[in-house]
Chain A
């Protein structure tokens, strides 16, 4: 059974159509990268799946049911952010909030501590889980974010630009960890990113959103000059270099975002 299903799903925000009649089925254990320029509705797609935003028309199902706010079927990994150094919260506390932070009541001391320990070990964060979150590096923080998301044993991992503002080795470490987790737990990973290359070897399929249009398929099917040219309605070059993919727009300012895959393309 599909973990995520969208049928003829259309989302309009104000007067802007983000995507039109989108059809998408995600299998358990599948790694789906969601690509597209800024404002193409990648994060809105996650908000729809989280039950925070209704579709304008069409149907969406999570594990056979309509999306529900705060569902434990979904683990959410946000982008790295900076915490104040003196914020009174440790990595471990942040992880634990992923389990029961939404519940009312003060919470029983010590209960579920072993669950928290187990996920912290699973992501290899035991060395710094007790340090204040504001002192951790971006990569360390993102490992704890993955632990936080895995804690409820979700069927789907929604990752919203989890590699943003990480250095290259942390990007590698974090994407490898997400990949290992989805394989080990047979979890679907829906991974919104503007940078395909760090996850290219792991991705099963790519969903590419551009101004209401969309394309889905294996990376080698979607990330081609012909397919992207069709989506953007202009000439696009897709270059391959040492196993990396570089998308280059026609130089028109309107397509500056096309090059989001690689900074060189922004020129």
Chain B
């Protein structure tokens, strides 16, 4: 237990908590906007960037950030529509990963650096890297609190958002860059390969429990914190295993619990609201999770 109070552990805990907060914060929007693949693509390109950063300047974080920001810009330019966007991401991702492998094979330093990029190295975080994480964290929280309402509007109801004067294209591009910064920060904790485990899974679990936007965000942050900090603490007790293993395990366990319990909670609550008698319900649109809403 004493390990937890060592400076390296406290730094790791602080960094991981902040990363969990911002990942949990953007998660529900990523899921609502159908951008999970964009997150994965951005993370893979952050890997390429990190490999380049390592090779050129010995600084994987700066490289990862460059990679993620460039890919966010490219996604913003290429794909306005979801399907088009996904195929563009697939194309860039495949090429970027290949490039990353080439860069790593050129690298003559420690082999562990490569696995650190892929699977995270939160315990080895330097003071400078921690400061970078803190800056990214507070920046993301600030921007998200500014664009929260128009982003929600544009994500769930773009037609009316346009009619109400929301510049949904601008909001979408700002969100892509927020995503790029968050993914870069998250890859320091769980690595570029496992970013989805704290950027998507907690949000997907939260959406099983509640239909309120603000609660979905709050629960998603809470679940991400549980997974990240719980994973870190468990890893301290089992020194030889990387924390990302436990983070992804916790995150997946939370999701499983949500799949099992969420539907009952969510539909019990909506079952309080009676259906309007004169209106025929389109039952085919009701998910199995929620089918009981209309049953007496």
Spell out A's residues near B (CB within 8 Å): 50-52, 68-71, 74, 76, 78, 81-83, 85-90, 93-94, 97-98, 100-107, 109, 127-135, 137-140, 145, 148, 158, 167, 169-170, 173
Cα A133 to Cα B211 in complex, Å, equals 9
Provide the residues of chain B in CB contact with A158, threshold 8 Å.
163
- For window 249-296 of B, CB contacts with A under 8 Å fall at 266, 270, 272-276, 278-282, 285-287, 289-290, 293-294
Closest 8 CB pairs of A and B: A70-B165, A101-B153, A85-B287, A88-B216, A132-B211, A76-B163, A139-B279, A69-B165
Q: B166 an interface residue at 8 Å Cβ cutoff? A: yes
> Which of chain B's residues has its CB closest to A105's CB?
B146
Question: How many A-B residue contacts, CB cutoff 8 Å?
Answer: 152
Cα A104 to Cα B279 in complex, Å, equals 36
Say whether A169 contacts B211, CB under 8 Å. Answer: no
Q: B129 an interface residue at 8 Å Cβ cutoff? A: no
Q: B95 an interface residue at 8 Å Cβ cutoff? A: no
Say whether A140 contacts B164, CB under 8 Å. Answer: no
- For window 22-42 of B, CB contacts with A under 8 Å fall at 28, 32
Cα A184 to Cα B274 in complex, Å, equals 27
Cα A173 to Cα B210 in complex, Å, equals 30
Cα A78 to Cα B198 in complex, Å, equals 36
Cβ proximity bits B200-212 to A, threshold 8 Å, 1 near / 0 not: 0000001110111
Say whether A86 contacts B207, CB under 8 Å. Answer: yes
- How many chain B residues touch A (Cβ–Cβ < 8 Å)? 49
Cα A52 to Cα B148 in complex, Å, equals 23
Say whether A102 contacts B285, CB under 8 Å. Answer: no
Cα A90 to Cα B147 in complex, Å, equals 20
CB distance from B289 to the nearest CB of A (A): 7
CB distance from A29 to the nearest CB of B (A): 22
Contact of B278 among A51, A133, A134, A169 (CB under 8 A): A169
Say whether B157 contacts A85, CB under 8 Å. Answer: no
Q: B226 an interface residue at 8 Å Cβ cutoff? A: no
> Which of chain A's residues has its CB closest to B283's CB?
A137
Provide the residues of chain B in CB contact with A74, threshold 8 Å.
163
Q: A106-B148, A138-B282, A140-B276 are known contacts. Are A87 and B156 too (CB-CB below 8 A)?
A: yes
Provide the residues of chain B in CB contact with A51, threshold 8 Å.
165
Q: B161 an interface residue at 8 Å Cβ cutoff? A: yes
Cα A70 to Cα B213 in complex, Å, equals 23
- Pick 26 A–B contacts, CB within 8 A, sort by A: A51-B165, A76-B160, A76-B163, A76-B164, A78-B159, A85-B285, A86-B287, A88-B207, A88-B213, A88-B215, A89-B211, A97-B161, A100-B149, A101-B150, A101-B153, A101-B164, A102-B150, A102-B161, A103-B149, A103-B150, A106-B148, A107-B149, A127-B274, A128-B275, A129-B273, A135-B286
Say whether B279 contacts A137, CB under 8 Å. Answer: yes
The interface centre, meaning the residue of B157, B163, B165 with most chain A CB atoms within 10 A of its CB, is: B163
Cβ proximity bits B144-183 to A, threshold 8 Å, 1 near / 0 not: 0111111011001101111111100000000000000000
Cα A246 to Cα B199 in complex, Å, equals 55
Say whether B164 contacts A70, CB under 8 Å. Answer: yes
Provide the residues of chain B in CB contact with A127, threshold 8 Å.
273-276
Cα A106 to Cα B251 in complex, Å, equals 27
Cα A209 to Cα B285 in complex, Å, equals 35
Say whether A86 contacts B208, CB under 8 Å. Answer: yes
9 more CB-based (< 8 A) A-B contacts, given A69-B165, A88-B212: A78-B160, A87-B32, A90-B212, A97-B156, A106-B149, A127-B273, A127-B276, A137-B275, A158-B163
> Which of chain B's residues has its CB closest to A75's CB?
B163
The interface centre, meaning the residue of B214, B281, B282 with most chain A CB atoms within 10 A of its CB, is: B282
Say whether B156 contacts A89, CB under 8 Å. Answer: yes
Provide the residues of chain B in CB contact with A140, threshold 8 Å.
276, 279
> Which of chain A's residues has its CB closest to B153's CB?
A101
Provide the residues of chain B in CB contact with A70, threshold 8 Å.
164-166
